[in-house]
Structure 1
Amino acid sequence: MDKYFEGKRILVTGGCQGIGRGLVLELWRLGANVVTVSNNAENLNKLKEEYPSIEIVYVDLRNWNKTREVIDALGVFDGLVNNAGIAIIEPFLECKKESLNETLDVNVNAVINVSQVVAKKMIENKRKGSIVNISSQASKAALKDHVAYCASKGALDALTRVMALELGPFGIRINTVNPTVIMTEMGRKVWAEPSKSKEMLSKIPLGRFGEVKEVVNAVLFLLCDSASLISGVQLPIDGGFLAT
């Protein structure tokens, strides 16, 4: 796997914090030429200061036309990770149209938009690439007060299957990873209170939440040729949550 990434160009959306940052840094360590896009200028600049050879690009993925322009200008990639996502916490009876639209814009529409541009260039340049979409266990199991988020991740899984069907003939593989709660910096803050984490942990047979590296390792596997016959799948990284 290490040698596979040497000299490969990989695009990661939302790559300056959490799982995305962990993935960007590991790809960089493995020799990939990494480009990451985000709408968080502060975090992008901080990443660039620490790792000058990582290419950063500012863009708001909710802006369809601007995003296409920016991604098209970046050239050809060997791999893409659609990591950028948002979660607006509202119960079903209180979910607002604006919340649903924004969630779908980032978690679904942006994936279609970015992937279209990247995949077309892969096809034009005869690159047999790999695209990994970061989904969630929320696509498979209901989470209270996460109606917009669950709906968007369910749509993302369905989108992935269609992408795999239509892009497979060009040698492009598409998969998702579906993590449980992951202990990013934000995750540790949100789930630190035992009264909040107890119920979720009780549903995970392995009895713990995930670490960033555990998601990163799965994504790296799906990006590289070791997964050359894997396409259209949803890979849970959930400690057995979906098995119960």
Structure 2
Amino acid sequence: MEISFKGKRILVTGAGQGIGRGIAIELWRAGANIVALSRTRSHLESLQSEYPSIDIVDVDIGDWEKTRKVVESLGHFDALVNNAAVAVCEPFLDCSPSNFDKTFDVNVKAVLNISQVVARKMIENKTHGAIVNISSQASKAALKDHTIYSASKAALDALTRAMALELGPYGIRVNAINPTVIMTEMAKVGWSDPIKANEMLSKIPLGRFGEISEVVNAVVFLLSERSSMINGVELPIDGGFLAT
């Protein structure tokens, strides 16, 4: 099933590394004009050194006003992937207001901010666009030491449904993807402890963690016309974790 985004302009946040980088590259390979956004300039420069035609923008999306100005200046997009996120893992009794604010500023508030700007331009240009928000299985099931992160991703799921409802009449589809542990370089370090890994793996019927490509493929599908009647869903990519 070949999917082409030739002539389409797509913004990907958190595109400097991991899942976001994989999404940006695959959409570029499918013909899209990509704008990769990240807080870390060095990650973006590494991406652009490999793919010179990808445009890069560095901004801390936790800063509402600065982010709004930057995204406004980027012009019109046909699609958006809200991938950027932060995760602070700590026990419930140790959760701090500063970590709560930091997490929600990036994982929820920034998605609202960036999506408002992009969606308004889609509406002005009468673009039947698509938005994909990268959520987590943590929004659906309690995970130890993930209180604030889980709450932020549950809020993102709710935001996705509200966006789908209100933007749908303009022909703009909005969906979320809810992955399990995905084997990014960071995850390989974080889940290298066999005891920790085996506890999670025992709850996944397929018996393994996900690969970046498996998230990327779902994002590409949901952004494409192949999913033209899919709107407001939260798609688990979890090997059956949430089914058990």
Question: Considering the TM-score relative to the shorter chain, is it more than 0.5?
Answer: yes
SS state at 1:166 partner: helix
Quote the offset at 1:47 in angstroms.
1.1
The answer to whether structure 1 residue 56 and structure 2 residue 56 are counterparts is: yes
Quote the offset at 1:52 in angstroms.
0.8
The answer to whether structure 1 residue 92 and structure 2 residue 81 are counterparts is: no
**Residue in 2 that maps onto 1:102:** 102
Could you tell me the TM-score, scaled by structure 1's length? 0.98
Residue identity in the other structure for 1:82: N
The answer to whether structure 1 residue 146 and structure 2 residue 136 are counterparts is: no
Quote the offset at 1:36 in angstroms.
1.0
- Determine the C-alpha separation between the residues in 1 that align with 2:28 and 2:16: 13
Residue identity in the other structure for 1:84: A
Residue identity in the other structure for 1:113: N
Quote the offset at 1:113 in angstroms.
0.2
- Determine the C-alpha separation between the residues in 1 that align with 2:125 and 2:138: 36
Give ranges in structure 2 of 5+ residues lacking alignment: none
Q: How many aligned residue pairs are there? A: 244
- Determine the C-alpha separation between the residues in 1 that align with 2:121 and 2:55: 19
Asked whether the equivalents of residues 4 and 225 of structure 1 are also in contact (C-alpha less than 8 Å), the reply is no
The answer to whether structure 1 residue 21 and structure 2 residue 21 are counterparts is: yes
Give ranges in structure 1 of 5+ residues lacking alignment: none
**Residue in 1 that maps onto 2:171:** 171
SS state at 2:216 partner: helix
1:88-237 residue pairs with structure 2 within 5 A?
88-237=88-237
The answer to whether structure 1 residue 34 and structure 2 residue 34 are counterparts is: yes
Residue identity in the other structure for 1:138: A
- Determine the C-alpha separation between the residues in 1 that align with 2:27 and 2:125: 22
- Determine the C-alpha separation between the residues in 2 that align with 1:112 and 1:46: 28
Asked whether the equivalents of residues 3 and 224 of structure 2 are also in contact (C-alpha less than 8 Å), the reply is no
1:68-87 residue pairs with structure 2 within 5 A?
68-87=68-87
- Determine the C-alpha separation between the residues in 2 that align with 1:162 and 1:10: 22
Residue identity in the other structure for 1:219: V
For the aligned residue pairs, the C-alpha RMSD in angstroms reads 0.8
Quote the offset at 1:2 in angstroms.
4.1
Asked whether the equivalents of residues 95 and 148 of structure 2 are also in contact (C-alpha less than 8 Å), the reply is yes
Quote the offset at 1:191 in angstroms.
1.1
Q: Which moved more, 1:184-193 or 1:112-121?
A: 184-193
Residue identity in the other structure for 1:204: I
Quote the offset at 1:4 in angstroms.
3.0
